[in-house]
Amino acid sequence: MACRGANSDEGAAKAHFVFVPLMHHGHLIPAVDAALQLAAHGALASIVVTPSYTARLRPAVESSGLPVRLVELPLDLASTDDVDRIPPDQEAAYLLAASRLRAPLEHHLRAHAPPVTCVVSDICHPWTTGLAASLGVPRLSFLGMSACCLLCLQTEHHAAAIRNAYAAIDPYWHLIPEEPVEVKMPTAAPGFLRLPACKKLAYEKLAYAVERACVEVDGVILNTFLELEPETVMSCMEVRNVNVWAVGPVSLFHYHQNAAALAARGNAPTIDADEYLRWLDDKESSSVIYVSFGSSAVHAAPKQVMEIGLGLEASEHPFIWVVSSENAGQDQEIRRFLEELEARVSGRGLLIRGWSPQQLILSHASVGGIVTHCGWNSMMEAVAAGLPMVTWPHLALQFVNEALAVRSMETGVSIGVEWSKEEGVEVAVVERGVVEEAVRSIMGGGDEAAERRRRATALATKVREVSQEGGSSFINLRRLVKRYQAVTSHDA
């Protein structure tokens, strides 16, 4: 075990938040951002990681100059501690195996100053309930999701206690209270892990543990902001009678940093930061569409990869496309297709195989829109950058996020995908013509596109306001730090 990063024993009276994030980048990076935000507001923070993630996170942690440290604990499964390399059929087993971290983590926290005042864990680490109880401190969940998604989960978790009555309810529709917006959700309630493809013992055990831990949580930190979902945030607080701290977008912490720091956020980029910037600098303002599906891209069918590429080519707009290194490297047909596509769109299209410095790219003036899988943290980065979106959800609560972008924020255009609730049925491939049309609708002219861009710009302005002194996220961060400052076991 090793402890790395800023080492601070100062002021036992300071709040000390211990973050236990899920190691998937979509969960890990915003958790690190939230820890840095809390440290910037006067707290101390520790982040629990496995060794393969230490080097990836160290640049962001050390360059911050804040009292944040990395607590390194080994956790191997399938000969790796890198979740990105865990075979899909072993992911549930890996998440359950994470409970092995409890004993060494508790020993470390008891042996090292400063004392813990609050444990902040990912929803997929229900074992932290026992850890916090043993340490005699509160436990918060940090959820990289919208308040609407949280409300859906809270409703499902509540229904878990009355499964027989809930069985009569159609689990594929939810009413989101703000609009109300009717959202088609491909989840088998109760619980977001109860998907048809997850009907395995490991997932059933994990789903039950997660549902129970969600009920027992002392509070929730959300990567959203109050002005975006005001009624829903209040509803989340009322459903479970817990505090909900809306402190997002947490990625704003990095906006003042230089290009090298932004490029290194989360992992080493596959292309040098200067090369990205040179390519972007040659493009006109708001002319480039950025296309990324996060970890969902790993499982894309070869036919779908080709249709995306051909649709982007036909759109005639400059584009940056993040292609899964697995798709690009293992399938000969795909590899040949991508090489030929690159030759045809040379200068207009940039393909990234592997890790992409998304925030660096989205913050550049030449980028004018994003095609996204509707992961909430990616959407929050797009909102902060003032970008309209083509929404292409892949699973579960991403469909709720799509509804928020298209029907509430009105900055999104849906690609029109629907997820099949039938196990073993493939999702219909989105044809190149649909991809082309969606890109043109976001990037083209016309009153509708101009109004969408205006709304996206207005949201970005609001985001800057909430993060500054006197803004709602700024105030919530301050209140959160003060609430858990010098909490004793008796206080907890």
List pLDDT tens digits, range 78-115: 677 777 777 767 777 778 888 889 999 999 999 999 99
> Does residue 256 lie in a domain region?
no
Question: DSSP string covering 408-445, please?
Answer: IS--EEE-------STTPPPPPPPHHHHHHHHHHHHS-
Average pLDDT of span 177-194: 39
Specify whether 129 is located in the same domain as 273: no
Asked if pLDDT for residue 191 goes beyond 80, the answer is no
pLDDT: which is higher, 221 or 427: 221
Specify whether 237 is located in the same domain as 308: no
Asked if pLDDT for residue 119 goes beyond 50, the answer is yes
pLDDT for 26 equals 79
Could you list the residue range(s) of the whole structural domain that residue 292 is in?
Answer: 261-465
The answer to whether the CB of 435 falls within 8 A of the CB of 279 is no
Specify whether 350 is located in the same domain as 365: yes
> Does residue 492 lie in a domain region?
no
pLDDT for 266 equals 61
pLDDT: which is higher, 209 or 253: 253
Average pLDDT of span 390-413: 88
Asked if pLDDT for residue 282 goes beyond 50, the answer is yes
Specify whether 161 is located in the same domain as 287: no
Average pLDDT of span 164-169: 34
List b or e across 261-274, with b for residues whose CB sees 16 or more CB atoms inside 10 angstroms: bbbbbbbebebebe
Q: Which residues are CB-neighbours of 148 under 8 A, at least 6 positions away?
A: 176, 178, 229, 232, 400, 401, 403, 404
Question: DSSP string covering 5-60, please?
Answer: E------TTS-EEEEE--SSHHHHHHHHHHHHHHHHTT-EEEEEE-HHHHHHHHHH
Nearest in space to 17 (alpha carbons), one of 61, 55, 59, 48? 48
Average pLDDT of span 356-366: 92
Asked if pLDDT for residue 437 goes beyond 90, the answer is yes
Specify whether 435 is located in the same domain as 476: no
The percentage of residues in the chain with a pLDDT greater than 90, rounded to a whole number, is 49
Average pLDDT of span 318-322: 96
Asked if pLDDT for residue 46 goes beyond 80, the answer is yes
pLDDT for 329 equals 53
Residue 216's pLDDT band (cuts 50, 70, 90): confident
User: Which of 238-247, 308-317, 454-463 bottoms out in mean pLDDT, i.e. has the lowest?
Assistant: 238-247
Asked if pLDDT for residue 397 goes beyond 90, the answer is no
Specify whether 71 is located in the same domain as 148: yes
Specify whether 156 is located in the same domain as 194: yes
Specify whether 230 is located in the same domain as 277: no
Residue 63's pLDDT band (cuts 50, 70, 90): confident
Q: What is the pTM of this model?
A: 0.86
Average pLDDT of span 61-71: 92
Specify whether 413 is located in the same domain as 477: no
Tell me how many domains the chain contains.
Answer: 2
> Does residue 489 lie in a domain region?
no
Average pLDDT of span 12-39: 89
Task: Give the whole-angstrom CA distance, residue 466 versus residue 464.
Answer: 6
pLDDT: which is higher, 297 or 14: 14
The percentage of residues in the chain with a pLDDT greater than 70, rounded to a whole number, is 77
Specify whether 212 is located in the same domain as 274: no
DSSP run (H or E) holding 321: strand 319-323
Average pLDDT of span 180-188: 39
Which residue type occupies 90? Q
Asked if pLDDT for residue 162 goes beyond 90, the answer is no
Considering 213-222, 322-331, 438-447, the range whose residues carry the highest mean pLDDT is 438-447
Q: Is the dihedral of CA 439, 440, 442, 448 positive or negative?
A: negative
> Does residue 41 lie in a domain region?
yes
Task: Give the whole-angstrom CA distance, residue 351 versus residue 277.
Answer: 14
pLDDT for 145 equals 84
Asked if pLDDT for residue 420 goes beyond 50, the answer is yes
Q: How many alpha carbons fall within 13 Å on the CB side of residue 483?
A: 20
Task: Give the whole-angstrom CA distance, residue 446 versus residue 432.
Answer: 22
User: Which of 198-202, 251-255, 328-332 bottoms out in mean pLDDT, i.e. has the lowest?
Assistant: 198-202
Structure tokens at 94: 């890996």
Specify whether 459 is located in the same domain as 470: no
Q: Which residues are CB-neighbours of 35 under 8 A, at least 6 positions away?
A: 17, 19, 45, 46, 47, 68, 120
| Helical residues (DSSP H) of 295-362, grouped into ranges | 302-315, 325-330, 332-344, 358-362
Specify whether 363 is located in the same domain as 437: yes
User: What CATH number did the domain enclosing 164 receive?
Assistant: 3.40.50.2000
Asked if pLDDT for residue 168 goes beyond 70, the answer is no
The answer to whether the CB of 147 falls within 8 A of the CB of 236 is yes
CA–CA distance from 225 to each of 118, 135, 401 (Å)?
22, 31, 14
User: Which of 121-125, 166-170, 348-352 bottoms out in mean pLDDT, i.e. has the lowest?
Assistant: 166-170
Angle between helices 447-467 and 472-483 (to 10 degrees): 30
Structure tokens at 36: 């840095």
pLDDT for 267 equals 66
Question: Would you mind telling me the total number of residues written for the chain in this entry?
Answer: 492
Q: Which residues are CB-neighbours of 490 under 8 A, at least 6 positions away?
A: none
Average pLDDT, the chain: 81
Residue 423's pLDDT band (cuts 50, 70, 90): very low
